[in-house]
Structure 1
């Protein structure tokens, strides 16, 4: 029986995107994870604030955590406002956590968040990727390919 293909995640409102991750890593597999947030963090994300540019995920004690993600304090928050760079728990099934942990330990892969978004039900989600790091030569090759594709598009437009 053929395995069903992954459907793309239902991204209604994208809040933060890690564009550098696709340049620095080979993306092997993607997972959608829920994220445990406090009230002011959700409000801050709904206003479109937040950054995952330097963040990563790790597995500790059978749980997955998002480390170094910046969700700035809510402007109208009071004394119950949240800490901007606190570790946030990612909500995944045990089987998914075991798969991620095995890949990280055995294959030397990294857990990289690609984006934070709200789905159609209004829940905050994190698109998490299992990735392998690129070396400098691979990055140069990626730049060369990107430039060539841009040049191809230019040539095709001129010849119409």
Structure 2
């Protein structure tokens, strides 16, 4: 008998989610990465604000950087506040960074952030995916499939 699979990552508090990513991309591999944040950024994220809707990640000089993510200024941060759209370093193992670098360079894939959350230890983490872009006809197929699944559920609920 097979062992039950553990959950993908332990998420206790989801701060920001990029729902559009699953619609626009084929998700291949998902990684969990830490984020290098300043104190006011952590406080701002804990209050539930933050957006990764238009953000992406790229590999430069053996490091992964999160670009264009928005963490609004902390209300009580005064002069120690952070810049809301600054580039943030992602913390990954070297082997994972090398895999991402190869996939982005050779296979034309993109690094897309899926969600920002706090894990059970209270650390800010980001779920990062290696993804391939969908064409317009692929998106239409996804919509048709989603609508058909919804209709199937209705039919099964009515009959049984």
TM bin, normalised by shorter chain, reads over 0.9
For residues 8 and 138 of structure 2, the distance between their equivalents in structure 1, rounded to whole angstroms, comes to 27
5+ long unaligned stretches in structure 1: none
For residues 6 and 159 of structure 2, the distance between their equivalents in structure 1, rounded to whole angstroms, comes to 38
Total equivalences in the alignment: 156
Matches within 5 A, 1:8-87: 8-87=8-87
Q: What are the superposed Cα offsets for residues 55-106 of structure 1, whole Å, 9 maximum, x if unpaired? A: 0000111110000000000011111100000000000111110110000000
Shift in alpha-carbon separation, 1:151–1:138, aligned structure 2, 3 A = same
Residue 88 (structure 1) aligned with residue 88 (structure 2): yes
TM-score, with length taken from structure 1: 0.95
For residues 76 and 143 of structure 2, the distance between their equivalents in structure 1, rounded to whole angstroms, comes to 43
Q: Which moved more, 1:138-147 or 1:149-158?
A: 149-158
TM-score, with length taken from structure 2: 0.95
Matches within 5 A, 1:77-116: 77-116=77-116
Superposition deviation, residue 114 in structure 1 = 0.3
Q: What are the superposed Cα offsets for residues 1-58 of structure 1, whole Å, 9 maximum, x if unpaired? A: xxxx774101010000000000000000000000000000000000000000000000
Q: What are the superposed Cα offsets for residues 95-145 of structure 1, whole Å, 9 maximum, x if unpaired? A: 110110000000000000000000000000000000000000100000000
CA RMSD, 1 decimal = 1.0
For residues 22 and 90 of structure 2, the distance between their equivalents in structure 1, rounded to whole angstroms, comes to 21
Matched residue SS, 1:121: coil
Runs (4+) off by over 3 Å: none
Match of 2:131 in 1: 131
Matched residue SS, 2:69: coil
5+ long unaligned stretches in structure 2: none
Matched residue SS, 2:14: strand
